[in-house]
Structures are given as C-alpha cells and as structure tokens.
Amino acid sequence: MHGPPAVAAAGLAPHAMRRQRLGDTVFRGLTQTFAIGVLVLLAGVILSLAAGAMPAFRKFGFFGFLVSDAWNPVKDNFGALPAIYGTVLSALIAMLLAVPVAFGIAIFLTELCPPVLRRPLGMLIELLAAIPSIIYGVWGLLVVAPVLQTTLQPFLIDTIGNIPIVGALFQGPPYGLGMLTAGMILAVMVLPFIAAVIRDVFMTVPAMLRESAYGMGATTAEVVRAIVIPHSRVGIVGGVMLGLGRALGETMAVTFVIGNAHHIRASLLAPGTTISATLANEFTEAVSDTYTSSLIALGLILFVITLIVLAIANFMLWRLSAKEAA
C-alpha cells in the first residue's frame, strides 16, 4: 500500500541531492571568483600606480623622494615628506580628538541615556556621516577657521606657546587655517563612524553581565571599565581603525582648511598639506612627465600607508581574539 510513494520518494532523493550539490558548486565558484577578482583588482591598482610612479623614483630615488621636502614645479624638483607628514599628523590629531568623544557618546547612549532618547540621539549622530565632505570643508573655511583665528589660536599662543619645548607646537601667527584646524574638521567627520561602531559593540554585551555587576554593587563607571570595555575590545579597535582609515584618505574637507603649503613646521597652527590635498589641488596642473609621475608616486605612498594601517589593525584584532580565546 505504501510501496509506490516510498519508491517515488527514493527515486526523487538522488535527483534533489544532485541539484543541491550543483547549486553548492556554482555558489562556491561564484564566491571564489569574486574574491579572486578583488585580489586581481588590487594588484592591478598597485601595478598601475607603481608604473606611473617609476619615472619619479628613477629621477629622485625612492628614499630620496620620501625624505625630500622640495616641491618646485618650475624646476621639476619634488619630494613627498611634507605631504606624508601632513597626512599622518592631521589624522593623529583627528583621532586624539575624536576617540575620547566617541567613547563618551557610546557610553552615554548605551549606559546612561533614557530609553526614549536613545534612538533619536543615535540617529542624529549617524546623520553626521551622511554630510558630504565638501560641506565640512566649506563650514571649516567660513566658520571654524575665523573663530579659531580670533579665539582659540591666540589663547594657545599666549599660554602654551610660552612653555619650553611643548610651546613650539603652538607658536607663530594665528592664520586660522593649518594642521590643527584640519585635524579638528577630520575629528568631526570621523566621529560618527567611531561612535556608531563602539555603540553597536557595547550593545552586544550580554545584559546578564551588566546586571550581575550592578547586583554586586558596582557603579556605572566600574561596569563600563570592568565589563563593557573588556568584552568589546575587538570591536573598539575595529571602530578606531575605521575612523583612522577615513581620516588618512579624506580629501576635500582637508583641502579647504589645511592651508596647502608644502612645508614642514613644528607648530600645529602653521599651514601644511596632505597627500590627498596635493593630488586634488595639483593633478590638473601637472604639465610635465616628472610632475605627473611625482603625484602618482604620492598616490602610491598613500595606498601603502593605508595598507600598513589595515595590516596593523588586523594584527591587533588577531592578538585580541587570541587572548579572548585563551
């Protein structure tokens, strides 16, 4: 009575299994193709940049180009050091300003904020990431720079600027534009990325851990320090590195407020430049092969700096994951 359905089911099972294996094979092949395609694209970008930068490296030498502070299009004499210095310094200033504020925002939203305000405030913070970078640049040029020129920078010059050694960072005329201004604008730009990632990571901490700590009499600060942050270290590092990568590659906002001067100055108030700002300002003006090759070499250097930052981030995440697993 039950023989034919059983036979039919037994006959359909191999066909269904073959179809499933075929689907798995196709899916595996597609995903491998996409992964290999990304690697091929990355290799193509590196090779094209290296080929374009080779004339500059031949003329000035690789290390000579890296350590030279010359930038004279008239004499076809170029060096990358001021742009590298400005890129790294402005990004570090941005991270020093943005990371503590992002921590505070994330802690407030997850631990202290009333539930009715948590979602609206979180959305407002995330909306900062949707503002185009050129808007930040115009705002920095027309609003922030004049305010800094008349308030904060004179104060820093008259106070910290008189302290030996440290005062060298805050000496010179208050231009309004410069490294400090660029770092502050970058800090505002990377803040929503870091804060959103850290907030989401904090929210993954099991409620049982928090409640157990509070039940033992721990304060909010103790819960954050002993429970939330240790449980979220991997995500915190990832969020900070995401913000750092954003700061290193920003172009338009920095171009408006950094001053675009190919010089290295100890003062954070002095104008400077970055690799991205140099490329944005001068690529259309490159009239000689050496000039063009030098700009492409700057792009290759920025690419390598970004890869180094990502490698360090992955290494840190691996170490933290290994410690947690142990």
CA distance 211 to 217: 10
Residue 228 carries which side chain, given as an amino acid letter? V
Q: DSSP 3-state assignment of 209?
A: helix
CA distance 270 to 264: 9
Query: Is 307 or 8 the better-scoring residue by pLDDT?
Result: 307
Which two three-digit tokens encode residue 110?
């997850």
Q: What is the pLDDT of residue 324?
A: 67
Reported confidence tier of residue 99, pLDDT bands at 50, 70, 90: very high
Residue 30 carries which side chain, given as an amino acid letter? L
CB atoms within 10 A of CB 239: 25
- Considering the entire predicted model, what is its pTM? 0.86
The residues with which 268 forms a beta bridge, in sequence order, are: none
Q: Mean pLDDT of all residues in the chain?
A: 88
Reported confidence tier of residue 80, pLDDT bands at 50, 70, 90: very high
Pick the CATH number of 62-325 from 3.40.50.620, 3.40.50.720, 1.10.3720.10, 3.40.50.2300: 1.10.3720.10
Q: What is the pLDDT of residue 326?
A: 65
Handedness of CA 40, 46, 47, 49 (dihedral sign): positive
Q: DSSP 3-state assignment of 78?
A: strand
In tens, the pLDDT along 102-135 reads: 999 999 998 888 888 888 888 888 888 888 989 9
In tens, the pLDDT along 214-268 reads: 888 888 888 888 888 888 888 888 889 889 988 998 888 999 999 999 989 999 9
CB atoms within 10 A of CB 297: 25
DSSP one-letter string for 238-267? HHHHHHHHHHHH--HHHHHHSB------S-
pLDDT(145) > 60: yes
Query: How far from 18 is each of 32, 79, 88, CA to CA, in Å?
Result: 21, 62, 55
Decide: residue 184, CB within 10 A, 0-12 exposed, 13-18 middle, 19+ buried. Answer: buried
CA angle 228, 232, 238 (to 5 degrees): 145
In tens, the pLDDT along 28-48 reads: 989 999 999 999 998 999 999
- What number is the average pLDDT over the span 4-31? 71
CA angle 303, 313, 34 (to 5 degrees): 65
In tens, the pLDDT along 310-319 reads: 888 888 878 7
For the CA atoms of 315, 319, 321, 326, the dihedral, rounded to the nearest 10 degrees, stands at: 160
- The number of CA neighbours under 13 Å toward the Cβ of 169 is 9
Contacts of 149 (CB under 8 A, 6+ apart): 174, 175, 176
- What number is the average pLDDT over the span 284-308? 91
Pairing of strands 71-72, 77-78: antiparallel
Question: 302 with 275: CB under 8 angstroms?
Answer: yes
